[in-house]
Amino acid sequence: MRVRPTKYFDITVAKFAVILPAAGKSSRFSTGSTQVGDIFFKKPFAPLENRPVWMHAADKFVNRPDVKQTLIVISREDLDDFTEKFGGNCAMLGIEIVAGGAERSDSVQAALARIKPEIDFVAVHDAARPCLTDEWIDKVFERAEQTGAAMLAVPVAATLKRVGPDKNIQETVSRESLWEAQTPQVFRRQLLLDAYAHRGDFTATDDAQLVERLPHPVAVVQCSAMNIKITSKDDLRLASAILKALPKPKLLNPPAHPFADDHLWR
């Protein structure tokens, strides 16, 4: 009997890199009151469930087989302290530390210069956005592979008011077709490089804005309001509750306790 040969198919799996911007000034964030002498934590480094906020965000990516490179961007003024306190954790998790720039776009651009040439897609995710699920990442990664550019977002549900300098309402703004941008925002590598090459001196509030200016469409993947960004101490309490409600991750390389002491960025 003649046996028909088995056909093997070469299924190419896309390779992703993840950039975690953590170089902001965190001017709206303090873990205590506004009294002089209180301990001040920049929001990505504040303690959340016994780990810094940034590590919760990083965990969701470093354990994915399709993520081949992870970079965290730290402001130059924090670089030495961050490396001293968290350099061991980053080495263990395979996370590269990059010195950031004056603006968020400068920081992402600095990390882009370090992306390996074999990477197909680049995801940019706020280091201060710790409440991710694997399902949300899967969906936005898949959509980016289909379209070249995709991001998580949620429809605006609240009533919006435009308020003047005198703190009086000027008008009620229609929320129809308005969405709140989230991260990760994921782009084909060359597309994001092109977007930054055409940036000039434009200051963007997110990476999708630069891609839109090429122009290139950015697909929106509906997410959840639970994918919050830490901007205040109240957000930490909310994030703690959300983390308890989300599916528990299965960590292949659970990180060691990150704190050398309890007074980061005093």
- Residue % of the chain over a pLDDT of 70: 83
For residue 12, what pLDDT band results from cuts at 50, 70 and 90?
Answer: confident
Measure CA 190 to chain center: 19
Q: Is the pLDDT of residue 180 over 90?
A: yes
| Residue 180 burial by Cβ neighbours in a 10 Å radius (0-12, 13-18, 19+) | middle
Domain ranges of the chain: 16-245
Determine contact, residues 67/18, Cβ cutoff 8 Å.
Answer: yes
What's the whole-model pTM score?
0.87
Structure tokens at 162: 């435009």
Q: What is the DSSP letter of 12?
A: P
Reported residue count of the chain is 266
pLDDT of residue 41: 66
CATH architecture designation of domain 16-245:
Alpha-Beta Complex (3.90)
Gap between the Cα atoms of 209 and 195, Å rounded: 9
CB 219 within 8 A of CB 181: no
Q: Of 101, 57, 108, which Cα lies nearest the Cα of 75?
A: 101
Contact 125, 57 (CB under 8 A): yes
Distances (CA, A) of 205 to 7, 16, 24, 209: 49, 22, 12, 7
